[in-house]
Amino acid sequence: MQTLSRPGGELVLETLYVDGASGYSLVPEKRYARMSNIWFVPSIGTLEQWLSRCGFKNIQLVDKSETTNDEQRQTEWMPFASLEDAIDANDFSRTTEGLPAPKKVVVLANKSS
């Protein structure tokens, strides 16, 4: 596998995650939180495994949090549907598709030399 990071380079990755054991990944049937471009949502352990298999080391979890309406909202520059439209109005822990609500993680890692 070819990567775009030089040996010793640093990766800063912010992505979605789902709770679960290492090896677990949510695979939405069609959409996830009304997004059609989400193919996999890994657990943090799975994400760490993927990074390691791609040649990254010193994998560090910097932050993990729930995605909020404050950061994913309609604005003058983004007038389209937002997170509020993708969350079940009766259960904020689920998406409109019935899947776990989005959470995000920030990870740092170095490319092996």
The fraction of the chain above a pLDDT of 90, given in percent, is 52
Q: Are 46 and 15 in contact (CB under 8 A)?
A: no
| Own/partner long-range contacts of 82-85 (Cβ < 8 Å, ≥24 apart) | 83/33, 85/34
- Residue 85, CA distances (Å) to 71, 82, 91, 97 in order: 14, 5, 13, 11
What pLDDT does residue 6 have? 75
pLDDT (tens digit, 9 = 90+) per residue, 86-111?
888 899 899 989 999 989 999 999 98
What pLDDT does residue 15 have? 95
> Mean of the per-residue pLDDT values for the chain?
84
What pLDDT does residue 73 have? 46
CA angle 65, 16, 69 (to 5 degrees): 55
What pLDDT does residue 1 have? 40
Can you read off the two tokens belonging to residue 59? 């994998």
What pLDDT does residue 57 have? 93
Position 84 pLDDT exceeds 80:
no
Average pLDDT over residues 9-38: 92
